[in-house]
Structure formats: structure tokens, C-alpha cells
Structure 1
Amino acid sequence: MALDRCRIGIIIVGFRNPEDVRACLAALSRSAVEPRFDVFICENGGDGAFALLCETLIGPAGPCARGSDAPPEAPAAVSSGQIEIARFALKGRNTRVWVGCATQNLGYAGGTNVWIHRVLPNPEWDGVWVLNPDSEPEPNALKALVERSSAGNKGMVGSTIVPDVHCATVYCRAGHRWRRLRADLALIGHGEPVYAPVDLKSIEADLDCISGGSMYVTRRCLEDIGPMDERFFLFYEDADWSERAKKHGLGYAPDSIVPHKGGTTIGSARRRAERSYLSVYLESRNNLTFVRMHWPRYVLLAGLFGCIQAMMYLFARSPRNFQAAAKGLLAGIRGETGQPRFHDR
């Protein structure tokens, strides 16, 4: 695909983190001229969070100015997921920005899907880039994704994700591989130097899941596999989406560098004792849900390792998160999906 004829829809789901979104859009404003893109943001945190986000984006240090373009049309059943939409534009470039306020917390999958349903019917956009709000992509990140997709005929492509800006080591290369004997996902390339030589063919052969922090999906792939599965709400929606996209090819763009703080909206910190109750609960529940859907022969193994993971929180002196993991595991066994009942995100 020729970059000068390409336009991408960038989808970002936020939850009461306006400064993260502001920094993300500021980074996007420094992106390469091509491919062109527009930005679609879903604020899941309610009316107050929506108003604060809009103020932050157009404030003195904000990357946006007020815009006038109407948002893409959507079927009535879909548009009911958003009660208000604000229109902006990135300063200094021909990029439209739409911010939608969700009627309730739709989760990562639901917030993403609200905009997918609006973007997909319009042939103006050739693909979507689902991007975490606490990321700050380097200028050529999107360009590298589109080029790898085109050159390798890949329907879904991931980036080199690093823990923070100017970090010299990798958090993951594109995403994860499936570990059958542990019934879980393992990061690819974790801890490697960012610019170390890579065996692209080997990495793409190992890829089972493109990280939800940066997922580029072509229109052709999206039209075939459909939107994210909202039963996951948060966690493993990227793994499920990737499984469905495998027939279109999963790819890796090494030069697409995306610094990602991680866990600023849902509390999924890397230290066990610091993780939020919700993130622990959903990771435990959704692992079992994912395994049952795609690797059913490993369900018992997933349950066993789920128990072990729950016990690890006791060793980390976090009885509250042990409780969250145990409750999530029981919910997964019962087949519960969607927004958690307690919902203390």
C-alpha cells in the first residue's frame, strides 16, 4: 500500500487519565507526514472525566485545537454507546481528533469497538491502530507498522514496546507467544536491547498475541474477524483478537518503537503487591476464559497454574490480591464474562 494514499484511524481508550492522553497525542503530532491518520478517543470515565480530557487537550499545553468536522456516521444501535462527541484537530497537521464520552465504562474492548463500528463502514480509513493512552509512539512508529503489513502481507502487526521514553531495553517485541505447558502467554524479547539485531522470521513464527498496547489491523483483516470480544472487558481481548487474525498473518515491525508506561489506568503494575484488585481479578478470570475458548485441552492446566498464581500473592504479602485472583479464578470456572459485578476500577 502506498503511504501517500493511506489513511489510518487511531483508536485510544482512556479512563480518567487526561495527562496520559495529552502526552500520547503530543507524541502523535510529531509523527511522520505519511501515512495520514485521524484519532478517535473513547473516554470511559464519565461526564466529568470527558470534560476534563477535552479541557486538557485544548488547554495552553494541549496538542489540539477546536475542530468542526462531524464524526463518522454509525448505526443507531452502536452510537448509543456514546452520549457526547467533541471535535478537535491536532495542531500543525491535517489530523482530525474525535473524543467520545461513553454512556458507561465499556472496558477496553467495548471502548475500542464503539469507534471501530464508526470507522469500518467508511472506506476513507485503510486500517486501525489501537493504541494505549499511556504510550508515546516515536515519529516513525505508524509508518513502520503500515510498511511491514504491506511488505509481509500481514493483517495484524505489533510494535517494539519499551517500558518508557528513552528506555534502552525491550518490554516485548510485538507481543507474546503461547506456552502450552504453563497455559499462559510469555513476552517475546523481554529485556533485550532495543536496537539489537532481530530474527524477524523467527519472531513472527512465534507470535500468538499482538500486544494490546499497539495493534495495527488492516481493513481487510478487520472486516473478516470483526471487532474485539467484549466478554473480556479488560485483559486477553488482544489475545483473542490475535487468534482470530492469525489466518491473515501476525507481523512485527521492529522500527515501530512505542514507549508504554503500562498500568496507569487499571493499576496493572509489574510488582504484585501494587496491582489493583480489578486487574488481578480480570487477569485470573480471563486467562481461564481465553484458554477455554482457544486451547480447551489445557483448561485443567490453566486452573492449576491459576491457583499457583493466586498463592504467589500471599508470598508477596498481598492477601487482598490473593482474594482477587481466587475470586477471578472461580468466576472463570463459572464462565462469567463481561463487566465485573463489583467493578471498582
Structure 2
Amino acid sequence: MTIGLKASETDASYGLAEDLVSEVAVLIVGYRNSQDIVDCLLALSRATASPAFDIFICENGGDDAYHRLVDALISKGGPCLRGQSPGIAIDCNTNRFTDVERLVLRARSSNVWVACASDNLGYAGGINAWLRPLSAIPTWQAIWILNPDTQPTESALAALHQRAESGRKAMVGSTILDSLDADHVRFRGGLSWQKLAARDVAIGLGDLLNVSCNIAAIEDAMDSPSGASMYVTRWCIERIGMMDESYFLFYEDMDWGLRARHLGLGYAADSIVVHKRGTTTGSARGSSAIPVLSVYLQHRNCVRFVRRHFPWSVPLRIAVSLLYALRFLLQGAPNNSRAAIEGLVAGLRGEIGRPKERMAQ
């Protein structure tokens, strides 16, 4: 079964049919952050033998960034070696990549497919650009979406796989930490949507890592796995479809998780993933240093999200965005205060997709 595709869209398989994909396809979307991806793949190289996986990277940052990424991956001390060239020519009329190179991990037999996006496709677009050709390959049973600035521990994937299988879960989230030696948790599984506050909150934020937790209660509270680490089964994708690319960046993972909630969301406590947070979007920095584009898209897309899932709470979301704008102003970040308001207005007007004028600025 293909995943929401026309028959003609499955023709360009990038040589994948000749090298059947392993049980799990690891998907990573990068944007000019090659060192983050190198570190991520070095961590993946140490993963347990089962389940087997192959890696699929979409570089959204253009040709130069793509070539820098490939060079970094195969450099001395890098995680990869060059693999055999794809056996099938890429038809650029039926896909969204201008170039694809096949590498292999030095430490194991996993293939690493690195693709150059024809344009900045956004987060969901980068994921979907690989899901389309993958849908024609029958061997994989799940995808694992990782932020490029993550470093999973050795058993992180195995724990996700086990929870999905044992609990018949559609999506599964990890324990997210800010650093490997952190004593406190950043996420337990993922996010919960506060309806009366019209905002999402991280489940388990600030919990002591080594304190036992109620897995069932966490799974009951989850509305989406954290986008830093999302394990998604094939049968789930076949039922709910791909990510919504209209968000471009921010809230597409929350939207996808909420669409899958009725199928079952899971939490694998032993799946430990370190997330540096914000090396691509800048979202982990102080108020005045957060890029205005990130602020703009967060507030624009949240309006779209609540309109789709909780339309009665749009007035609440307007108030929340205005409060954020006031806080930015009081913290000495007037540009971000303005971006929050402009994003709010754009969301109310129904703007979707890549904000080309703002990105040009």
C-alpha cells in the first residue's frame, strides 16, 4: 500500500528497490548544520544491532550546504564511507531532490542516503520528500524522525521499537535530555495541549531523571511525541497520511501527533535522546537572540493549529500571543515582540507555507 501517492509518483525510487530498506528508516532534515548531523550519525553508529535501520537525510540549505554535509560525513573521523552509486537515475520531474548520494556507516552496514532538496522544503516537506519514494518499498515497518541536533543513546531505537510492538502504539516518544549528564528531564515522551491556555507543554519538564514515573499516565496525557524524536509506524502513516507541509516549520509535529492520538501514542522511558535544542531555529537562545522568523512562525502556525483542532480556543490563542509580545517587549526584544504580533495577524489571515518575503529578509 502506498502512502497517499499517485502511481506515477512512486516511479523514482532512487535505487532503493535494489537495496531493500531495513526495518526502520531514520529520517533527518538538516539546514546548513553539517556538524550536528555528523554527531548524530556517530551516535547512531553505536546503536544496538536490532532493529536494523537505514538513514535518509534531506538537506534544505542548498547545493553548497549539501556538498559540505557529504564532505563532512565522509571526512577522516566522520561516520560514513561512500557507497555504491544509485542504480536508478533520479527523475527531477517526479521528486523534490536535485541530487542524491548513497553512503554507508563505517561501523555497520546501514545505508545513508543524503539528498539535496530542490528548495527549502521546510521540516514536514523534508520528511515527506523521503516518505514518497519510501512508500514504494515494502520492507520498512516504521520511521524514526530525529532532529539533526540530537544524539540518541545506544538502546534508544530498540526501546522505541519494543514499546511500539508490545503496546501496539502508532507513535512513540523518547526521554529527551539537554545533555547526557543531565539530572532533569526535558520531555517525557512528548507534548500535551492545554486547552484552557491554548498552548502546548512539555510532559515531565524538570522531573528528576532517575525517579520512577507512571508510563500509563504519561501516555494518557500525550497529544504528540516530541518532534526531536518521533517513532512512527508504517500502519499509522497509511491511516492518517503524511505530515502537513502548510506549517513549514513549527507545529507540524504536534498536528501529526494529534491526528494519530486515537490510534495510540506511546512513551519509551528507556529511549534516551540528547537534544541540543535550537541549533537550527535558534529557539533555545535568550529572548533577544531568537530569530524573528522563528517567533513569527511559532505564532502564525499556532493559530492554524488551534483553528484546525480547537477552533473555539482561537480567542484564547490571540490573548496568549499578545502576552508573549508584551513579554518580549519587557525583556528588551522589540523585534521579536513585533514578529509575534505579525505572526498572529498572518495566522488569522490564513497564511500558510514558506513565508518567502520574511525568509528573504
**Alignment equivalent of 1:318, drawn from 324, 333, 339:** 333
Q: Which residue of 2 aligns with 1:155?
A: 170
**Alignment equivalent of 1:207, drawn from 222, 228, 235:** 222
Q: Offset of 1:78 from its aligned partner?
A: 4.9
Q: Offset of 1:52 from its aligned partner?
A: 0.3
Q: Which residue of 2 aligns with 1:235?
A: 250
List per-residue Cα deviations over 1:83-108 (Å, max 9, x = no partner). Answer: 00011000121100000000111111
The yes-or-no answer on 1:57 pairing with 2:101 is: no
| AA at the equivalent of 2:81 | A
SS at match of 1:343: helix
Q: Which residue of 1 aligns with 2:129?
A: 114
Larger mean Cα displacement after TM superposition, 245-254 or 131-140: 245-254
Which 5+ residue runs of structure 2 have no aligned equivalent?
A: 1-20
Q: Offset of 1:270 from its aligned partner?
A: 4.7
Once residues 87 and 289 of structure 2 are traced to their aligned partners in structure 1, the CA distance between those partners, rounded to angstroms, is 39
Q: Offset of 1:76 from its aligned partner?
A: 6.6
SS at match of 1:93: coil
Q: Offset of 1:266 from its aligned partner?
A: 1.4
Q: Which residue of 1 aligns with 2:238?
A: 223
Once residues 168 and 144 of structure 1 are traced to their aligned partners in structure 2, the CA distance between those partners, rounded to angstroms, is 20
CA contact (8 A) 2:86 2:101 kept: no
Once residues 23 and 199 of structure 2 are traced to their aligned partners in structure 1, the CA distance between those partners, rounded to angstroms, is 35
Normalised TM-score (structure 1)? 0.95
SS at match of 1:49: helix
List per-residue Cα deviations over 1:224-279 (Å, max 9, x = no partner). Answer: 11111000000000011001111211110000000000110111125322211111
Residues 6, 57 of structure 1: CA spacing in aligned structure 2 closer, same or farther, 3 A cutoff? closer
**Alignment equivalent of 1:263, drawn from 250, 260, 278:** 278
CA contact (8 A) 2:224 2:261 kept: no
Q: Which residue of 2 aligns with 1:168?
A: 183
Once residues 202 and 210 of structure 2 are traced to their aligned partners in structure 1, the CA distance between those partners, rounded to angstroms, is 17
| AA at the equivalent of 1:295 | F
Larger mean Cα displacement after TM superposition, 272-281 or 258-267: 272-281
The yes-or-no answer on 1:33 pairing with 2:49 is: yes
Q: Which residue of 1 aligns with 2:31?
A: 15
Q: Which residue of 1 aligns with 2:210?
A: 195
Once residues 32 and 72 of structure 1 are traced to their aligned partners in structure 2, the CA distance between those partners, rounded to angstroms, is 31
Q: Offset of 1:195 from its aligned partner?
A: 2.4
Once residues 282 and 87 of structure 2 are traced to their aligned partners in structure 1, the CA distance between those partners, rounded to angstroms, is 31
Once residues 304 and 109 of structure 2 are traced to their aligned partners in structure 1, the CA distance between those partners, rounded to angstroms, is 42
CA contact (8 A) 2:299 2:340 kept: yes
Residues 134, 78 of structure 1: CA spacing in aligned structure 2 closer, same or farther, 3 A cutoff? farther
| AA at the equivalent of 1:34 | S
| AA at the equivalent of 2:77 | A
Residues 64, 340 of structure 1: CA spacing in aligned structure 2 closer, same or farther, 3 A cutoff? same
The yes-or-no answer on 1:124 pairing with 2:139 is: yes
Q: CA RMSD in A?
A: 1.7
Q: Offset of 1:71 from its aligned partner?
A: 7.8
The yes-or-no answer on 1:340 pairing with 2:355 is: yes
SS at match of 1:62: coil
SS at match of 1:170: coil
Once residues 234 and 306 of structure 2 are traced to their aligned partners in structure 1, the CA distance between those partners, rounded to angstroms, is 27
Q: Offset of 1:165 from its aligned partner?
A: 2.7
Once residues 228 and 124 of structure 1 are traced to their aligned partners in structure 2, the CA distance between those partners, rounded to angstroms, is 21
Once residues 116 and 73 of structure 1 are traced to their aligned partners in structure 2, the CA distance between those partners, rounded to angstroms, is 18
Normalised TM-score (structure 2)? 0.91
Q: Which residue of 2 aligns with 1:48?
A: 64
Once residues 123 and 108 of structure 2 are traced to their aligned partners in structure 1, the CA distance between those partners, rounded to angstroms, is 28
| AA at the equivalent of 1:174 | G
Q: Percent identity?
A: 45
CA contact (8 A) 2:79 2:107 kept: no
Once residues 93 and 195 of structure 2 are traced to their aligned partners in structure 1, the CA distance between those partners, rounded to angstroms, is 39
